[in-house]
Structure 1
Amino acid sequence: MTRGTIRGGGTLHPTVVRDRQFTVVGFGRRGLDPEEVRRFLCRVALELATLHDEMTRLADENTRIKRALREWQGMHRRQP
């Protein structure tokens, strides 16, 4: 399991999010290190935004290609 700060960057895989463990704050404070959690959440948000943008771009490209194919098929359709 992942523990502490994320090293190496790269693509954020679902297993990284699912298995993520944060440092427990000690000595009179309970819970997790808020700064570490914030850094991780910012990384997750950035990765999700990147993936969302890529999905939108691919959906637009898919629509464009389908439209071009229909036009091409229309121009090359056999006339009876």
Structure 2
Amino acid sequence: MKSARDREQLIKDINVLLNQAYDSTLDEIYALLQKIEEEEEEEDLKAYELAKKSADIDGSVSWEEAKKELKREIKKEVG
């Protein structure tokens, strides 16, 4: 991961090149960035589904489910 300063400089350098690019090149860059974004979203979704399946297989539960179960157990002990 780049430092904030390195990232800022890279963005400035990219903006210089973008301002010099032809419109057709800008269209291609935009399409590539959209494709990258879609692929990252798809990877995130696959990772989520895999984690969900893994939780089902090994019997683990989500944090929300664990909190609800803990609250039920506390109520039983108090009551």
TM-score (norm 1): 0.52
Percent of residue pairs identical: 4
- The aligned counterpart of 2:23 is 34
Q: Paired residues, what number? A: 50
Instruction: Please list, as runs of the form range in 1=range in 2, the aligned pairs for 1:1-80 lying within 5 A after superposition.
Output: 18=11, 19-20=13-14, 21-22=17-18, 24=20, 32-70=21-59
TM-score (norm 2): 0.52
Structure 2 segments unaligned to the other structure (5+ residues)? 1-6, 61-79
- The two structures, once aligned, show a CA RMSD in angstroms of 2.6
Greater relative contact order, per chain length (Cα 8 Å cut-off, separation 6+): 1
1:66 alignment partner, SS class: helix
1:22-71, Cα deviation, whole Å (9 max, x unpaired): 253xxxxxxx5211110100010111111110110110000000111117
Greater helix share, structure number: 2
Structure 1 segments unaligned to the other structure (5+ residues)? 1-13, 25-31, 72-80
